[in-house]
Structure 1
Amino acid sequence: MKLKITILLLFVCSLTYGQTYKSLIAEADKFYQSKDYKKAVDMFKAAFKIEQKSAGNIYNASCAASLLGDKNLAFEWLNSALRNGWVNVRHLKADSDLNSLHEDDRWNNLVIEMQKELDKKEANYDKPLQAKLLAIYDDDQLIRQQFITAQKEFGYDSKKVDSLGTIMMLKDSINLMKVTEILDKYGWLGVDKIGGQANQTLFLVIQHSDLKTQQKYLPMMREAVKTNKASASSLALLEDRVALEEGKRQIYGSQIGYDEDTEKSFVLPLQDPENVDKRRMKVGLEPMSVYVKGWDITWDAKRYKKELPALEKRLKGQK
C-alpha cells in the first residue's frame, strides 16, 4: 500500500438545525472547489446569517459570487470584506475569480478605497523587506498550485509531477536561504512590521523545509506566538509536521495522508484523538469533523483510536 502525505496549502443540499458557522463555511469552500458556485454562494449566505466578521471568508464568498455571475452580491461582499479589514489590493487585482468585475465602474472605486486603507495600515512597514517576502510567497505558492493540479490531472507517479517536484525542491531551497537570512538577522517579524501575508511567508517556507531546519526555528516561532508575532494556528501545523518527522504522533491532527491503492485520505497518527478538538480550539483551529471534510473524511474519534495501531503498523512498513 502506497501512502503519501498530502501537501497542505501555503482554500448541502439542505440546511439542518445545529449547523455551525464553521461547518457552513467548510461546505461553501467545498462547493467552491468543485466549481458549484451556486451552492457555494448559498452556503456563504447561510453562514453570514450567523456572523459576518471574517474578512477572509467574506472575500472568498465574493469570489464565488463573481464566478456565479452575481456582480451586485460580489461587490456587496467585497465592500463588507473591506470594512472588516481586507486590504490585500495586490491579491485583489491578480485574482482571476474577480475578472468579471473589472469593467464595472464600482471596481476602480473599490480598488482606490482599499489602497487608501492599505496605505494607512502600512505606514510603518519595512516596505523593502515586505516586498522581498511577498515575492517569496508567490514563488512558494505558485509551484505548489501547479504541483497539486498536475497530481490531479496526471497522477501522483507521472513524469509531469516528478518534474514539478524537482523544480519545487529547488525553489524551496532558494527561498529557505532567503528566509533564514531574514530570521537570523531580524527574528520573527510580526504583522505590524511586514503585514499579514509577508508574515505568513516566514511560516510557509519553514513549514516546507527539512526537519533539521524546522527543529531549529520551531522555538523561535513558539516565542513569536507568545508576543503575537506569529499565528498559534500556524504554529500548530509546524508542531504536527515536526512531531511526525521525529516519529511521534501529531498533536492537532493537521497532517493528512493519502492511500493510492484505495484513493482515500486519512488522518496521520494522532495522539489522544478524543481530546483533539479541545487542543485545536485553544489555537484557533476548527473542529476535526469540519477540517477533514475537505478530504472527504468522516471524523470518528473513537473509531480512529481503535484503528490507530494498525495504521501505525502499516506506515512503519512503508519506511
Structure 2
Amino acid sequence: MKKITLVIIIVFIYNIYIFAQIDSNKPYFDLMRIADSSYKTGNFELAIRYANQALEYGNLESHLYNLGCYYSLNGDPDSAIYFINLAINNGYRNCSWLTKDADLATLRYGTDWENLMRNCVEKSRQSTDTILADYIMTFRGNEKKYRLKIDSLLKDTGIHSRAYDSLWKLIDSIDKRNIQVIDSIVELRGFPDICMVGEKAAYTVFLIVQHADLSSHQRYFSMIHESMEMGCFKKTHLAYLTDRILMNSEFKQLFGTQLSWDESLNKYTIIPIIDSVNIDIRRKLFGLIPLNDYLQRINH
C-alpha cells in the first residue's frame, strides 16, 4: 500500500505545482468563475468571452477543456476541436470521458474527431504511470505461480486429491485479495488499462479480473469494453472475459477460450460453445488463433 500512497502524494504535489504557476494576484480564477457561471445559465458566448480573457493569466488543462466545451455548445466545432486538442497536449488524459461528455456530442463525427481521439490515446500511452504499473506487477508472481502448480497436480493426482483442494483454497484467497486491490485502484485512479499503466501491468489487471468472482466479472466488463474501444485494452482479453461470464452464468461460450480438465483423457477439452461452425471467424475478429491450434498449444 506504500506505493499507492506514494502515487497519491505525487499527484497532490503535481497539482499544487500547476496551480502555483498561476499568479493568484491576477484575476484568473475570477474570470473562470464567471465563465463557469455563464455556462451553467446557457450563455455560452459570455462563457467563451471570459474564458478567453482568462487565457492571458493561465491555461490549466481543465480551463482549455471547458473552453472547448463552450465552443461546441455555441456551434463552433473547429474552435472546440482546437481547444480540446490543446487540453490534451497540456495533460488532459481522460479519453473515455471524451466519448461520453454531452457537451461534445456534436463533434463526434468525421476525421477531426478521429484525429483528436487518436491524439488523446497516443498521449495517454506516452504518459504511463510507472509507479502504479510497478505496484500492480508485484501481484503477477502469485497470480501465476500457484496456477502453474495446479496444472502439474492435475496430471499427477487428478482433481480428487487433498493437495489439489488445498492449493485451490490458497488460490481462491489470493484471487479475493487481488481483486480488492484492483477495486481500490479503480476508486482512487480509475481503471488501470494500457493507457494508464502499460501493456504488462494491464495484462496483470486482466488476469486478476478474469480469476475473480462473477460479480467482479460483470462489474469490470463495461470498463474493459470501454478501454478496448479506446485502444487501451486488447480485444483478446475481452473475448476471454466474455466467455468466463457466459460459462459462470451457465451459458455456452462464444470464443472457445474456456476449458475443462478431462481425467479420462488426461487433457483439457473445450467447454460447449455457441455456433461452433463459425467459431474461428469470431476468434479471428478478436485476435485469437484457430481453436484447434489453441487446444494443441494448451495440451502440449
- Give the TM-score taking structure 1 as reference length: 0.52
Query: Who is 1:159 aligned against?
Result: 162
Identical aligned residues as a percent:
27
What SS does the aligned partner of 2:294 have?
helix
**Count of matched residue pairs:** 177
Q: Which has the higher contact order (CA 8 A, sep 6+)?
A: 1
Separation of aligned partners in 2, 1:290 and 1:275 = 15
Distance in 1 between the 2:194 and 2:223 partners? 16
- Contact 2:252/2:274 (<8 A) preserved: yes
> 1:197 — aligned with what?
200
Partner of 2:148: 145
After superposition, the CA RMSD in angstroms is 2.2
**Deviation per residue, 1:242-274 (Å, 9 max, x gap):** 011112110001111222234343211101111
Task: Report the equivalent of 1:276.
Answer: 279
**Residue of structure 2 aligned with 1:132, choices 132, 135, 140:** 135
Identify which of 226, 249, 252 aligns with 1:246. 249
Partner of 1:302 in structure 2?
Answer: none
For residue 223 of structure 1, give the secondary structure of its aligned residue in structure 2.
helix
Task: List alignment gaps of at least 5 residues for structure 1.
Answer: 1-121, 298-319
Q: Could you tell me which amino acid in structure 1 is paired with residue 290 of structure 2?
A: P
Gap runs ≥5 in structure 2: 1-124
Report whether the alignment pairs 1:184 with 2:187.
Answer: yes
Distance in 2 of aligned mates of 1:192 and 1:222: 14
Residue from 260, 269, 274 that aligns with 1:257: 260
User: Following TM superposition, by how much is the alpha carbon of 1:241 offset from its aligned partner in structure 2, in angstroms?
Assistant: 0.8
1:232 is aligned with what amino acid?
K
Structure showing greater Rg: 2
Q: 2:238 aligns with which of 212, 235, 242?
A: 235
2:222 and 2:170 map into 1 onto residues whose CA distance is: 29
Amino acid of the residue matched to residue 142 of structure 2?
D
* Structure 2 CA distance for aligned equivalents of residues 221 and 164 of structure 1: 29
Name 2:57's counterpart in structure 1: none
> How far apart, CA to CA, are the structure 1 residues paired with 2:274 and 2:246?
10
Counterpart for residue 173 of structure 1? 176
What is the CA distance between 1:189 and its match in structure 2?
2.6
Could you list the per-position Cα deviations for residues 74-131 of structure 1 after superposition, in whole angstroms to 9, with x for gaps in the alignment? xxxxxxxxxxxxxxxxxxxxxxxxxxxxxxxxxxxxxxxxxxxxxxxx9733222112
Runs of 4+ residues over 4 Å off in structure 1: none
1-structure distance, mates of 2:146, 2:275: 35
Q: How does 1:214-229 map to 2 (within 5 A)?
A: 214-229=217-232
Matched, 1:287 2:290: yes
What is the DSSP-based 3-state SS (H/G/I as helix, E as strand, rest coil) of the residue aligned with 1:146? helix
